[in-house]
Amino acid sequence: MSKGIKKLRVVFIGAGGLAWSVGSALSNAGVSVCQIISPSSSSGQQLASKLQCPYESAIIHIDQKADIYFIAVPDSVIPRVAEELALYLPQRATIIHSSGSVSLSVLKKYDNAAVFYPFQTLTRGRVVDLSVVPIFVEATNKQTLKLISSVASAVTNQVYSITSEQRLMIHLAGVIGNNFTNFLIGQSADILSRQGFSMEILKPLIVETVNKAFELSPEKAQTGPAVRNDIAILEKHQEILQSLPPLQRLYALFSELIALKRTEYKLGNDTSSYE
């Protein structure tokens, strides 16, 4: 890492999961996190204490001498925060957001704007090791892209320069693979709970499922009644779920998609061993 990166001073507007993990990663890499701004005094002060930097509750008190300003707030709030920042920061300030779905153009008021998007689920109060996480970057000009790429490289060696359109598709993949998976784990946990079991008994199954998908491919790793076309079990499960219509519909749809994928896989590989 260059000495230039170590001399950078960074402000985070927001104290959620992104600020916790990215702020910690940058601090560990030698970057100076010089201020946390958050309307939530509890989370803002807690993060500021962890990173040993000042806390402020309003943008009006922003440190105007910082090198980079991270907008680390929910997607829907990014445009409003960007507008408010423009009242206190010069047009040449380097402004960054970290959303997977918000276009870089939302920061069009600034000459030096960028996106720093870690492809990971992040939660307030939980610091994730970003050294193994891909970070996607985008910027309005080559100089800013070089700067933000250097900052990302101080955190991980998986740094990719992409467009806003590519980032949106990556974000979609993340929502399906992460958010939907987490929801389904919760539904499984509810079913187990009704039988007096903890969701802990799911853990070996989920871990093996994920490991196998990456080692073999999801198509080769797929198991279950839908891929075996076991109509009797599929109908039995559907009957059990009659009291939960939304989950019953979801079960039917997933089973249909798995069966369709099975057919596509067999046709593409000319094999009957897909089990």
Strands in 112-118's sheet, in edge-to-edge order, are: 55-56, 32-37, 9-13, 68-71, 94-97, 112-118, 135-139, 159-161
pLDDT on residue 14: 97
Confidence band of 262 (pLDDT split at 50, 70, 90): confident
How far is 37 from 129, CA to CA, in rounded Å?
23
33 and 27 Cβ atoms separated by less than 8 Å: yes
Confidence band of 5 (pLDDT split at 50, 70, 90): confident
Confidence band of 6 (pLDDT split at 50, 70, 90): confident
Percent of the chain with pLDDT over 90: 91
pTM: 0.89
Which class would CATH give 3-162? Answer: alpha beta
Indicate if the pLDDT at residue 270 is higher than 80.
Answer: no
In degrees and rounded to multiples of 5, residue 199 shows phi and psi of -65, -10
pLDDT in tens, 200-239: 999 999 999 999 999 999 999 999 999 999 999 999 999 9
pLDDT on residue 171: 97
Confidence band of 274 (pLDDT split at 50, 70, 90): very low
Range(s) of the chain covered by CATH 3.40.50.720: 3-162
pLDDT in tens, 152-169: 999 999 999 999 999 999
- Tokens 């000042």 identify what position? 54
pLDDT in tens, 80-131: 999 999 999 998 999 999 999 999 999 999 999 999 999 999 999 999 999 9
